[in-house]
Amino acid sequence: MKIVVLKFGGTSVGSIDRIKKVSKIIISYVKKNYKVIVTSSAMSGATNELIKKSKEISNNFISEEYDVLVSAGEQISCSLISGRLNHLGYKSRSWLGWQIPIFTKGDHSSSRIQNINKKNILKYLKSGGISVVAGFQGINFNNRITTIGRGGTDASAIMLARFFKAEKCIIYTDVDGVYTTDPNTIKKAKKIRVISYEEMLEMASLGAKVMQPHSIQDARLNRIDIDVRSSFKKGEGTLITKRKNISSNKIIRGVSFTKNDAKITLIGVKDRPGVAASIFEPLYKNSINVDMVVQNISSNGKETDLTFTIKSEDLSKTEKLVKKNKKIKLRRIIVDSRVSKVSIIGVGMITTPGVTYRMFNALAKKNINIIVISTSEIKISVLINRKDLKKAVSVLHKEFNLEN
């Protein structure tokens, strides 16, 4: 049985007119003799409206009921898609997570799919039906509805493709693929035809909004190829796949950036074993993500200056946590909310010398000062003044020949 999994994002099903267009896309795969499993997000804005209602009811809405509430959006969109397919003469029905069931594990609102009962859907596919599965949701082993986190319908699609051994997993969204950088910022950005899991994971983590990082990681771990396409216009998208499937002479595949960074520097921290853990423990306990970290030890070895970056929205909370932390002693705190992070990503840098020099030299020629540096095997990130962001992205995009 030749199975395809089609995922449609919130903007793709954001109106009745768009749901009608999505139905035509689904039917095109039926005509190619695929057995089709569809998974859909809620209509755009629907989940935010449900979250707003929960906050109006209580500022401490319990997690079990929160998942019941926010999963309702997918129920609506799946019913509408299935209803339209039946109207057009195609056998179809919607499936909620508990009806299949899709079993999940983990906390409410951030669960992960562990198993999918295939029996009923396989029987339905064999009978000629189109299964429309609500994304973003499942049930735990207490039979309570759970959700997989924002962007969780991508994860639903990937796990459906894994358990049903689908030939294709296609993510339909409001963009027509992954670009070398944000095309709204750099007009010469080019679509990437094929990209590795690792590169896509770094790009998503560093600001590219095509997919959530945890969904890409799920695809990588399960070796599921993902085809990202636009639901609004025809044409090839971007294939996310294994490194060995890619033949490219590009050293760098993309330039990513973030605009919502802030920098905190702790001056004159009394240096001792465990001091860094003491600084970051309260941040961890308050779910504040720390990104770039740089430490400079004084010449006498008794003090250290520690710099780290966080998201701008966490700045005030982080500053308060550091100031009331009695486990550390320091002379003063310096904060800067006018910074941004720019990153170059590419598996080609593993075997190519001089990439770091080229990046730093290109920025220096444009008088762009580097504040903090962090690296991984396939990524170099720098923190710069936010006013230089567009200039930095442009010069790096050109330096690594991404315009061609």
For 273-297, write each residue's pLDDT tens digit.
888 999 999 999 998 999 999 988 8
Assigned CATH for 3-174? 3.40.1160.10
For residues 228 and 237, is the Cβ–Cβ distance under 8 A?
yes
For 182-209, write each residue's pLDDT tens digit.
998 999 999 999 999 999 999 888 877 7
Q: If you write DSSP's letter for every residue of 33-63 in order, what string do you get? A: T-EEEEEEPPPTTHHHHHHHHHHHH-TT--H
d(CA 382, CA 377): 15
Residue extents of the structural domains in the chain: 3-174
| % of the chain with per-residue pLDDT over 70 | 99
> pTM of the full predicted structure?
0.85
Q: Is the pLDDT of residue 300 over 80?
A: no
Beta carbons within 8 Å of 402's beta carbon, 6+ residues apart: 180, 181, 189, 190, 250, 252, 253, 254, 255
* DSSP state letter for 206: T
The pair of structure tokens assigned to 215 is: 């969904």
Which of these, 266, 210, 264, lies nearest to 240 by C-alpha position?
210
Q: What is the pLDDT of residue 404?
A: 83
Q: What is the pLDDT of residue 191?
A: 93
For residues 158 and 140, is the Cβ–Cβ distance under 8 A?
no
The pair of structure tokens assigned to 74 is: 């997918």
d(CA 258, CA 48): 23
Beta carbons within 8 Å of 77's beta carbon, 6+ residues apart: 13, 19, 40, 41, 42, 43, 46, 134
Handedness of CA 132, 135, 139, 140 (dihedral sign): positive
Mean pLDDT across the stretch 96-125?
95
pLDDT-based confidence at residue 180 (cuts at 50, 70, 90):
very high
First to last CA, the chain: 41
Around 119, how many Cα atoms within 13 Å sit in the side-chain half-sphere?
A: 3
How many other C-beta atoms lie within 10 A of the C-beta of residue 301? 8
323-327 long-range CB contacts below 8 Å, 24 or more apart?
Answer: 325/278, 325/279, 325/282, 327/278, 327/281
- Average per-residue pLDDT in the chain? 93
For residues 155 and 116, is the Cβ–Cβ distance under 8 A?
no
Between vectors from CA 148 to CA 146 and to CA 154, what angle results, nearest 5°? 140
For residues 350 and 377, is the Cβ–Cβ distance under 8 A?
yes
Token pair 């990524």: residue: 379
Q: Is the pLDDT of residue 403 over 90?
A: no
Full 3-state SS string of 296-338? EECCCCCEEEEEEEEEHHHHHHHHHHHHCCCCCCCCEEEEEEE
